[in-house]
Chains A and B, each alone.
Chain A
Amino acid sequence: MPEALHEPFHDIGKQRSAEEAGIWIFLASEVIFFGGLFLGYAVYRLRLPEGYGAAMAETNLTLGIVNTALLLASSATMAFTVWVGREGLQRATVTGLIATLALGTAFLAVKGVEYYEDIRHHLIPGHPDFPVDVPGAEMFFSFYWAMTGLHGLHMAIGLGIIAWTVHAVRSDRIAWRETAHLHVVGLYWNLVDVVWIFLFPLLYLVGR
């Protein structure tokens, strides 16, 4: 069994507290990072509402709904993982992690299909055959690509961490029962989910 307590800590409670504080510092920086993108989106939406509305009609609502359901489900399986992890249930923890991994991968696969469709329809800012001739439409798609792309990158990083955690929990490579590892991974994953909760209405619903 790996040692749970690490230097400089002499108390597992304080170590857990420091682990959680560390991820919250990171999440705070992520909130500001995505906040800047949301702010840019909002300012240009205020200035160019017609273009945003016309551009939004081109996004695929069905795939957006499917991805929302997948991500909300993955958030629930991640929470389940944290809860059963606290109870020390190894098999259920690994099952929860694998379910989260599968749902997250499905999200990225659906996003890939959507990107393929978007590229096929020339929904790329600056493309000579960009289909929406209303000022602001290309700006909408600039934010669409930037925001969903960066969200997808965060998803991919999260999936990598979860895949490693599956291995680590299954082989007892880390002291997952005693440390805050699962909770830290869960906090990251849930923040990625929260970002999508706001992206979905802004890119697929509001003003459609």
Chain B
Amino acid sequence: MARRTTFRLAGRAVGAFVAMLLLAACSIAAALLLDGLAASVVPLGVAVITAGFVAIAFMEVRKMDAVSAIFAGVAVCFLAVLFGLTFTDELTRAHIPAGFEARTGD
């Protein structure tokens, strides 16, 4: 019985590993074969999918209790705020007009 359980669970782990390996292969192929924006977006998209797979299959986030879920959710929210505020500034900041540096140097 113990032996059968071990093999069943080992099979599950091997299946998950193969799935993640295939995702990594997709990521590498996309980065090397695609051009332009797709060569960046696809590998990062695959990384998000792989991380989600690890979170669900291995970290068992769907089974976590409410308190743990709040802590995990707060981390994701803070991360979103960190990136959101930084890129809101970074992508919308007006560039210093030409000649501005010369004027300030007077």
- Contacts from A to B (Cβ < 8 Å): 17, 20-21, 24-25, 27-29, 31-32, 35-36, 39, 42-43, 46, 65, 68-69, 72-73, 75-80, 82-84, 87, 89, 92, 183, 186-187, 190-191, 193-194, 197-198, 200-202, 205-208
| Residues of chain A lying within 8 A (CB to CB) of residue B98 | none
Q: Which of A27, A42, A83, A89 contacts B2 (CB 8 A)?
A: A89
Say whether B67 contacts A17, CB under 8 Å. yes
Query: How many pairs, one residue from A and one from B, have CB atoms within 8 Å of each other in the complex?
Result: 139
| Residues of chain A lying within 8 A (CB to CB) of residue B54 | 75, 190, 193-194, 197
Question: Helix, strand, loop or mixed for chain A's interface?
Answer: helix
Chain A min CB distance to B59 (Å):
5
- In angstroms, Cα B32 to Cα A187, docked, is 32
In this complex, the interface size class of chain B, counting residues with CB under 8 Å from chain A, is 35 or more
Say whether B58 contacts A79, CB under 8 Å. yes
| Residues of chain A lying within 8 A (CB to CB) of residue B24 | 65, 68-69, 72, 200
Q: Give 17 CB contacts A-B under 8 Å.
A: A25-B71, A28-B71, A31-B78, A72-B24, A75-B54, A76-B20, A83-B13, A84-B5, A87-B2, A89-B6, A190-B54, A194-B54, A201-B47, A202-B44, A205-B27, A205-B28, A208-B31
Question: Which chain A residue has the least Cβ–Cβ distance from B80?
Answer: A35
8 Å CB interface, B38-56 against A? 39-40, 43-44, 46-47, 50-51, 54-55
Question: Helix, strand, loop or mixed for chain B's interface?
Answer: helix
Say whether B71 contacts A21, CB under 8 Å. yes
Question: Which chain A residue has the least Cβ–Cβ distance from B24?
Answer: A68
- In angstroms, Cα B27 to Cα A70, docked, is 16
Chain B min CB distance to A25 (Å):
5
Say whether B21 contacts A72, CB under 8 Å. yes
- In angstroms, Cα B82 to Cα A29, docked, is 13
Say whether A72 contacts B20, CB under 8 Å. yes
Say whether B28 contacts A194, CB under 8 Å. no
Q: Beyond A28-B74, A205-B27, is A21–B68 a contact (Cβ under 8 Å)?
A: yes
